[in-house]
Amino acid sequence: MYSGSKALFFALSRSAALKRLASKYGMARPDSFARRFIAGETVEEAIEDARALQARGMLLTLDYLGESVKTAAAAAAATREYVGLIDVIVASGIERNISLKVTQLGVDVDRATCVDNLRRILDSAQRHDFFVRIDMENSPYTEVTLEVFETMWQQQYRCLGVALQSGLYRTEQDIRRMNELGARVRLVKGAYKEPAAVAHQRKADVDESFRRLGHLLLDHGTYPALATHDERLIEDARAYALQRGIAKDRFEFQMLYGIRRDLQTSLVANGYRMRIYVPFGRQWFPYFMRRLGERPANVAFVIRGILGERH
Ligand code: FDA
């Protein structure tokens, strides 16, 4: 069921008809169903939400949604959007932290295009004291994402980090490499359906791997981020850090916008750093479908939303 629902929703995320239907109803009004997971289609909406989260003591990262870009022109347009976003964030005074994807910057066109685009973003980010996180996409992109990351790192960019997935067998080795470099890692379970050749298939194994890799990061990582809504794993990380004398400001928890707000609030109240991933933009459909795939119970909530919109 775990990977089955991911595969189903991944396939559905490619459906043009479903995308049209969702796009019509999903974000039409402030109470539309996709708004639970997406901060809005415009940067102004995202900044408004970001301010409200900051007022509740949360840290932030803004993600201008987009992925699987197939032309150099579209990748250049996404790059311009990110450079523009940096300026808007600076002007707004909210925290300076963004997340992006290599397929958004043209890695499918060619690697050099992606590196050039990322460099443009990092030059601006560095000037304005931002932190930039490269999200991790599905396994055909793991190696190239890490290559792009290391290319920038070797060019002395230090304002960036990467996400790694506990579901993949290779991740322990990748974490050891990042720890050696002194690079910041965001650990996630992994949102994509992956083949048995590269990834654990049982949820219990993905969870156990997260627990173990979380310890590795807490012990040897550089300001790691543990990105999960899994209460058991959060409890485990808290206990481990306490037992090892790792202070609360040496790592952070991260969660997605709209998920487990209760837990977000209670961690902040207990003095932990909690960063919220705030996605926005018109290209929200694939991101939204991954959130449904993680928790099929969300589908009922969406169907109620669609029926409600039509009345
Ligand atoms: P799990 O799926 O076991 O869920 C634990 C609990 O969290 C559930 O019981 C439920 O209460 C709640 N929950 C989880 N997902 C929910 C949902 N969609 N709707 C409602 N409740 C939900 N992945 C990736 O491949 N590359 C990346 O770069 C990132 N980046 C990223 C950043 C941040 C800040 C987070 C929090 C997550 C990611 N992810 C990601 C997604 C990640 O890989 C994973 O798919 C989700 O976090 C869901 O897994 P959990 O760790 O929450 O555990």
Residues 184 and 256 grouped into a single domain: yes
- Residue 230: name the closest of 210, 212, 250, 213 by CA: 210
Residues 64 and 94 grouped into a single domain: yes
The CB density around residue 10, as the number of other CB atoms within 10 Å, is: 17
Count of domains for the chain: 2
Rounded to 5 degrees, φ, ψ at 104 are -75, -30
Q: Which distant-in-sequence residues (6+ apart) come within 8 Å of 22 by Cβ?
A: 34, 285, 288
- Counting atoms of ligand 1 from 1, which one is nearest the CA of 225? 34
* CATH code where residue 144 lies: 3.20.20.220
- What is the reported pLDDT for 306? 67
Residues 15 and 54 grouped into a single domain: no
Rounded to 5 degrees, φ, ψ at 94 are -80, 170
- Give whole-number Cα distances, 202 to 3, 194, 243, 289, in Å: 8, 11, 29, 21
Q: Which two structure tokens, joined as six digits, stand for 22?
A: 């969702």
Residues 266 and 138 grouped into a single domain: yes
**R_g of the chain, CA atoms, integer Å:** 19
- What is the reported pLDDT for 15? 78
What positions carry a catalytic annotation? 135, 186
Residue 35 DSSP label: G
- What is the reported pLDDT for 142? 98
Residues 59 and 178 grouped into a single domain: yes
Q: Which distant-in-sequence residues (6+ apart) come within 8 Å of 227 by Cβ?
A: 163, 186, 187, 188, 253, 254, 255, 277
DSSP string, 127-182: HTT-EEEE----GGGHHHHHHHHHHHHHTT--SEEEEEETTBTTHHHHHHHHHHHT
Residues 159 and 292 grouped into a single domain: no
DSSP H or E segment with residue 61: strand 59-64
Q: State the distance from the centre of ligand 1 to the C-alpha of 272, rounded, in angstroms.
A: 19
Q: How far apart are CA 254 and CA 264, in angstroms?
A: 9
Residues 147 and 231 grouped into a single domain: yes
Unique residue bearing structure tokens 């543990």: 226
* pTM, to two decimals: 0.95
The pick from 60, 98, 257, 259 for probing ligand 1's pocket by mutation, whose C-beta has the most ligand atoms within 8 angstroms, reads 259
- What is the reported pLDDT for 311? 44
99: which strand partners?
Answer: 63, 133
Q: State the distance from the centre of ligand 1 to the C-alpha of 94, rounded, in angstroms.
A: 24
Which amino acid, residue 66? G
Residues 14 and 46 grouped into a single domain: no
Residues 175 and 247 grouped into a single domain: yes
Residues 147 and 206 grouped into a single domain: yes
Residues 150 and 7 grouped into a single domain: no
- Protein residues whose CB sits closer than 6 Å to any atom of ligand 1: 135-136, 163, 165, 188-192, 227-230, 254-256, 259-260, 277, 291, 294-295, 298
What is the full per-residue pLDDT of the chain (311 aa) written as tens digits? 456 778 877 777 777 777 777 777 778 777 778 899 999 999 999 999 999 999 999 999 999 999 899 999 999 999 999 999 999 999 999 999 999 999 999 999 999 999 999 999 999 999 999 999 999 999 999 999 999 999 999 999 999 999 999 999 999 999 999 999 999 999 999 999 999 999 999 999 999 999 999 999 999 999 999 999 999 999 999 999 999 999 999 999 999 999 999 999 999 999 999 999 999 999 999 999 899 888 878 887 777 766 665 54
Nearest protein CA to atom 3 of ligand 1, as residue: 230
The pick from 3, 6, 185, 256 for probing ligand 1's pocket by mutation, whose C-beta has the most ligand atoms within 8 angstroms, reads 256
- Give whole-number Cα distances, 90 to 42, 87, 125, 129, 238, in Å: 16, 5, 10, 10, 33
Q: How far apart are CA 159 and CA 147, in angstroms?
A: 16
Q: How far apart are CA 77 and CA 142, in angstroms?
A: 24
Q: State the distance from the centre of ligand 1 to the C-alpha of 294, rounded, in angstroms.
A: 7
Residue 245 DSSP label: T
Domain interval for residue 17: 1-38+284-311
- What is the reported pLDDT for 264? 98
Residues 57 and 181 grouped into a single domain: yes
The CB density around residue 16, as the number of other CB atoms within 10 Å, is: 7
